[in-house]
Structure 1
């Protein structure tokens, strides 16, 4: 089976670079193009053969759902995996109704990303081996291959709930926050807040910089990209 060709649609440069690099590290996949707007995504679909689209929902020109609608209206049969921070129920339901095969919430680790792509490839390989299904069990098995075999794992000591709270806080703040700022608002220890913020930096969703305020060591602060 040839490599599956991937269109990465992500407007944040750091996240786009990370997702593109992630695809290159997963066996059986190759990046066809990386774009940052709805218009560029539609054009890329016309210019490149694409098997699967990694689609962010928050694009600068139009909503990611518009890419989905344009893709289906034009007759493109590429599958779509939503890779987004959009948690609104109506967005999730609309994405499912338009044929999204997986919905991956930011932030995530490379291990989670790879697991989702591997599951998708298993689904494609299984679909290519048969021309029709004979019973419900075969359908369940095929659709079940799209789901990861185990729960999403974070680095030891990190919980999804706290990661979501810190992500939400940084995304909503509109400005950079230090580990001390995060710790005071949650509340958790400064060390704990720093661990989560550093993990978000590793995923490409947050950037760090030094805050200088008088004498002494500068304080590290974190900003949602």
Structure 2
């Protein structure tokens, strides 16, 4: 299990990281720091395998923190997740040893790709004393078709394909109950699939007033022809 420390000053983004991490096998969130000083204290107290690090933070920004992490020789890998998209910051982060760089705003698919690629590399390095070039190439040469994606826990690729085809057959907005009836599984299970599709920006969720004033949540498919799901259901 990969122990993760999230360093992010925006509580909403930190919560998003926590939600995404809970959907990816092999990871557990062990701490959240909202500034660099807190992150350094946590690193001194406990061993973490991976930091998910923002750059824009008050007092000590992420690059300054990353430099201190290297100066202190903390044995931890770093993935940058930041709105900083200028080349100087990206070059500095990579020179300081960041293993990946994700630019905000980002989609779950990109986050998932980064963490699955990291997990593969982690196990190749940790589990083998002698490492073959071909093993390294699978993670260091990061061709798109070499990076495998995985579904969140509890989701099945065949069911996901069925749910998606059902949604594509619906004109306009729909409820969880409507899809549950068509697919033939429980509303609780269907909701998990719909929330996953929403995280990929394939669906949006709106609140509507029912005939007697009761609020009703309805989904709308944003792109019935998207190929985003191919990596998950192939």
TM range (shorter): 0.5 to 0.7
CA RMSD in angstroms comes to 2.6
Contact 2:55 2:84 in 1 (8 A): yes
2:117 to 103, 116, 119: 119
Counterparts of 2:6 and 2:107, CA distance in 1? 17
The separation in 2 between residues aligned to 1:148 and 1:29, in whole angstroms, is 23
TM-score normalized with structure 1 length: 0.61
Q: Hey, what's the Cα distance between the residues in 2 that align with 1:119 and 1:140?
A: 11
Determine helix, strand or coil for the equivalent of 1:42: helix
Equivalent pairs counted in the alignment come to 152
- Map residues 1-225 of structure 1 onto 2, 5 A cutoff: 3-133=1-131, 136-144=133-141, 149=146
**2:84 is paired with a residue of what secondary structure?**
coil
Rounded Cα–Cα distance in structure 1 between residues aligned with 2:81 and 2:110: 12
Aligned-partner Cα distance in 1 for 2:25–2:62: 27
**Which structure has the larger Rg?**
2
Q: Is the 8 A contact 2:55 2:62 kept in 1?
A: yes
2:99 is paired with a residue whose SS is strand
1:35 and 1:23 mapped to 2: Cα distance? 16
Gaps of 5+ in 2: 150-197, 201-234
CA distance in 2, matches of 1:37, 1:136: 38
Give the CA deviation at 1:48.
Answer: 2.2
Report deviation, 1:63: 1.4
C-alpha spacing 1:26/1:146, structure 2 compared with 1 (3 Å): farther
Structure-1 separation of matches of 2:143 and 2:29: 20
User: Residue 99 of structure 1: SS of its match in structure 2?
Assistant: coil
For the structure 1 residues 8 and 38, does the alpha-carbon distance in structure 2 shift closer, same or farther, using more than 3 Å as the test? Answer: same
Q: Are the aligned partners of 2:124 and 2:135 in contact in 1 as well (CA < 8 Å)?
A: no
CA deviation string 1:91-137 (max 9, x = no partner): 1111111100000111112222122111110111111232233x654
TM-score normalized by structure 2? 0.59
Matches of 2:84 and 2:119, distance apart in 1: 24
Aligned partners of 1:123 and 1:146 also within 8 Å: no
Question: Aligned-pair distance for 1:144?
Answer: 2.6
Distance 1:98 1:137 in 2: 25
Distance in 2 (alpha carbons) for counterparts of 1:122 and 1:99 = 18
Contact 2:82 2:103 in 1 (8 A): yes
Consecutive unaligned residues in structure 1, runs of 5 or more:
153-200, 204-225
Q: 1:155-199: per-residue Cα shift (whole Å, max 9, x none)? A: xxxxxxxxxxxxxxxxxxxxxxxxxxxxxxxxxxxxxxxxxxxxx
